[in-house]
Chain A
Amino acid sequence: MALFLLFGILLAASLVCLHPRMNERALRWVGLLVSVITLVSISWFTVPILFGIAPGLQSSWWEVNRFSSLMASLVAWLYACAMLVSYHYLDVEIRKGILTLHQIRLYMLSVPLFVLSMLVAIFANNVGLLWVALEATTLSTTMLVSFYGKKSSMEAAWKYIMLCSTGIALGLFGILVMGYAGSAAGLHEAEAFRINFLSDVAPSMNPGIVMWSFVFLFIGFGTKIGLVPMHTWLPDAHSKTPAPVSAMLSGILLNVAFFTLLRFKNIVDQTLGSSDWTNQFFLLFGVLTIMLPAIILLIQRNYKRMLAYSTVEHMGIMAFLVGLGPVGMVAFTVHMIGHTLAKSTLFFGAGELLQRFESTKFHLVHDVMRRAPRTGSLFLIATLFLIAVPPTGLFLSEFVLVGLGMTVSPILTALAVLGITLAGLGLLKHLFEMLFGPVVPEEKQDTPVETWNLTHTVMSLQLAIGLVFGIWVLFGDGWTVLSGISSSIFPL
């Protein structure tokens, strides 16, 4: 009931934005208010389940367990942060005459629908509903990719909708094949589309058909996750949306797609009686997804694209961790949380830089530490988080990657470590050039004195939480708690 109420609020918030008498200020307030309501409601609903105080829920359409509660909490948190940043970001864009009321309306219409789609995808027990929700995440954000109406935005939006829709369509094919395997194992029509029923009959499903199904699910949802070589849409789309939306796309949407794939992996593993076969996919595609963006990061010329490629690399790390088995799965959970906090902070910072320097090109943004010290410092700290400097959560997850990976697959692990190192070097090389490099004549010279704003507050808060989280998992009982949460989808 609480969930339906929240879904209703998000839908209503979206529709309210169509009201012709809403001005841009009112639209921003509605967006902010609804995001706070969402955060409070989701916290009230999921926190008891997340910490094992209350049992999960299951019905024919919905399933709420500890892992899905964690995912929903991350969605709600990032939504609130993104709307806080949007409040300031959109205000600046309006004052500069970059955006119109029509565009703000589109923004505030799309974002709640996007969040609603993610929450439905997370909590869906019915795979058909899950598919529709995942497709809706693409549809609700397409117009945000083409938001600024430039030629490059159009190109990015076209790639985004075509590749993601095609990927998700192949995912639907995989779902149908799995439904067929479920039917053949004795499930009735409706039951063959419920994850809990599929999981129950998994050991008696035909392994050949289930393996076929997984190949399509992997290609399909792997496209949405951004695994190489299905990633080509991602750097374009994530670099063309307004910065707060980029933060949500990179920070949480890919995790939602990953979570979807993991739910099917679990069923396939039960059918095959082992996770070895599916783990090979994750290890191999994980290494590819680390290596390729790592090389591109070294030659990157645009800081928003740099962050997007870094996201691809981190999806590779997460895929590799999944391939390492149940302990890797706990590290995956740690990495997912750490990456969400660090990457969204960086995208918020990227928005600040863009508004100040009016370019996303490295060669047109220099001496940030002197000209925008607040943004520069926070950007630097978030980058250190992202490259897994201790005591961050990412340090622990990448430590597990090396330690456990060497026992599972030394060659692939060595390649993964090489890729992670190259990516870190690439990020630092560009970052230092941007933060400390001398100003060149071609770039904007007269940047106003920087003052502390809402975006800086959100960035600081996220980094503080990231630091506490890192200390908790490294020195506290964070690892134990997260082991319990990840075992709700992958038993240890």
Chain B
Amino acid sequence: MTNSLFSLLMLVLFVGETLTCFTLMRLPSLLRFYALSSVALGGLAIGLALEGGGVHLIPVAVAVVAVKALLVPFVIKRMAERSGASLRLVSSLRPSASWFVGIGVFGSGISLALHSPLYQMNNMIQTPALLPISFGVILVGLVMMIIRKDLLSQMIGFLVLENGIAAFSLSALGGIPVAIEFGVYSAVLIGAILMATLSQRVQNLLGTHDTSHLSELTD
């Protein structure tokens, strides 16, 4: 797949936009880059379909773009605006340090993948280059959920993680059966709506979506 210029471009965009998400501190730009990384993921599915991966990847690509690049960012943005949430996000790291940490985490994911038995059997893998990248993206999403200190960023961290898993399914399996794929995207969409609703209710109740205010439940 990486022989194709289109797929290579999508791969670079997917990585670049995901890493940028890790560093951004304002909601509109974070949502924009998350949407763009999802478009790149859809592009990867189309690239795979064009290279003989199966026509079933076309509707999958359309669903990725519709759900992750359009619907989910729209819902989050609208909920944030309605609750009057601050567009400035909260993180444990400064933006400059985020780049270093993000690249380090991403590199660790790639290293983990390269040493895994999955990559050692790469004659079976549909798109070998995407497999380590998917590991990197999953780790970036996980770390983003941990270091970010506001509900909206944590939500986007989860969505980045989910993008990594979707990239893994494209890489290792050339996509999963369409019915399951649509089930997964429906769950992601409903999950995002619920998370956005909760964050709106927290904002209305506490006047902030900073998670440091949610620390009442301890033993």
B176 touches A209 (CB 8 A): no
Min Cβ gap B215→A in Å is 7
A259 touches B (CB below 8 Å)? no
Residues of B within 8 A of A176 (CB): 165, 168-169, 172-173, 176
Residues B162 and A169 in contact, CB atoms below 8 Å apart:
yes
Q: Is A212 an interface residue (CB 8 A)?
A: yes
Q: In the assembled complex, which residues on chain A have CB atoms less than 8 Å from the CB atom of B165?
A: 169, 172-173, 176
Q: Which residues of A contact B191 (CB under 8 A)?
A: 135, 139, 161, 165
With contacts A151-B206, A161-B198, A299-B219 known, is A179 near B161, CB below 8 A? no
A118: Cβ under 8 A from any B Cβ? no
Which DSSP category, helix, strand, loop or mixed, fits chain A's interface?
helix
Partner of A184, one of B124, B138, B174, B190: B124
Using Cβ atoms and an 8 Å threshold, which residues of chain B touch A384?
Answer: none
Q: Contact string, B146-183, partner A, CB cutoff 8 A, digits 1/0?
A: 00000100110010011001001100111011011001
A142 touches B217 (CB 8 A): no
Chain B residues, Cβ within 8 Å of A156 = 217
The answer to whether A132 touches B118 (Cβ under 8 A) is: no
Q: Are A183 and B177 in contact (CB under 8 A)?
A: no
Q: Is the CB of B198 within 8 A of A157?
A: yes
B173 touches A192 (CB 8 A): yes
Contacts of A192 in B (CB 8 A): 173
The reply to whether the CB of A105 lies closer than 8 angstroms to some CB of chain B is no
Would you call B173 and A166 a contact (CB within 8 A)? no
Q: Does B110 sit within 8 A of A, measured CB to CB? A: no
Report whether over half of chain B's contact residues are helix, strand or loop; otherwise say mixed: helix
Interface residues on chain A, number (Cβ under 8 Å): 48
Contact assessment for A209 and B219 in the assembled complex, using a CB-CB cutoff below 8 Å: no
Q: Are B198 and A173 in contact (CB under 8 A)?
A: no
Across the interface, which residues of B come within 8 angstroms of A180, CB to CB? 118, 124, 172-173
Q: Do the beta carbons of B187 and A139 come within 8 Å of each other?
A: yes
A149 at the interface (CB under 8 A from B): yes
Chain A minimum-CB-distance residue to B123 = A184
Q: How far is the CB of A205 from chain B (nearest CB, A)?
A: 11
Whether A40 is near chain B, meaning CB under 8 Å from some CB there, is: no
Which chain B residues border A139 with CB–CB below 8 Å?
187, 190-191, 194
Known: A139-B191, A154-B198, A169-B165. A236 touches B217 (CB 8 A): yes
Asked whether, in the complex, the Cβ of B187 is within 8 Å of the Cβ of A136, the reply is yes
State the CA gap A219–B201 with chains docked (Å): 30
B40: which A residues are within 8 A, CB to CB? none
Task: Decide if B10 is an interface residue (CB 8 Å cutoff).
Answer: no
Report yes or no: A158 in contact with B187, Cβ–Cβ below 8 A.
no
Residue in contact with B121 in the complex, picked from A129, A152, A165, A184, CB distance below 8 Å = A184
Interface set, chain B 202-219, CB cutoff 8 A to A? 202, 205-206, 211, 214-217, 219
Q: CB distance B142 to A149 under 8 Å? A: no
A206 adjacent to chain B (CB < 8 Å): yes
CB distance from B170 to the nearest CB of A (A): 10
A159: chain B residues at CB < 8 Å are: 217
Query: Chain A residues near B158 (CB, 8 Å)?
Result: 162, 165-166, 169
Q: How far is the CA of A151 from the CA of B202 in the complex (A)?
A: 8
**Separation in Å of the B1 CB from the closest CB of chain A?**
17
Q: Which residue of chain B has its CB nearest to the CB of A305?
A: B219
Q: Is the CB of A166 within 8 A of B121?
A: no
Q: Which residue of B lies closest to A295 (CB)?
A: B219
Is A128 in contact with B177, judged by CB distance below 8 angstroms?
yes
**284-312 of chain A: CB within 8 A of chain B:** 296, 299-300, 305
User: Taking CB as reference atom, which chain A residue is nearest B219?
Assistant: A296
CB distance from B133 to the nearest CB of A (A): 14
* Interface 0/1 of B112-141, CB less than 8 Å to A: 000011101100100000000000001000
Additional pairs, 11, CB under 8 Å, beyond known A169-B162, A172-B184, A180-B172: A126-B180, A154-B202, A169-B161, A173-B138, A180-B124, A183-B124, A183-B173, A184-B121, A209-B117, A211-B117, A236-B217
Q: What are 21 A-B pairs with beta-carbon distances under 8 A? A: A129-B183, A131-B184, A142-B194, A151-B206, A152-B217, A154-B206, A158-B151, A158-B198, A158-B214, A159-B217, A161-B195, A166-B142, A166-B161, A172-B184, A176-B172, A176-B173, A177-B118, A179-B176, A189-B177, A192-B173, A211-B117
- Measured CB to CB, the residues of B under 8 A from A are 116-118, 120-121, 124, 138, 142, 145, 151, 154-155, 158, 161-162, 165, 168-169, 172-174, 176-177, 179-180, 183-184, 186-187, 190-191, 194-195, 197-199, 201-202, 205-206, 211, 214-217, 219
CB-CB nearest 9 A-B residue pairs: A128-B180, A208-B117, A132-B183, A155-B214, A180-B172, A135-B187, A236-B217, A184-B124, A152-B216
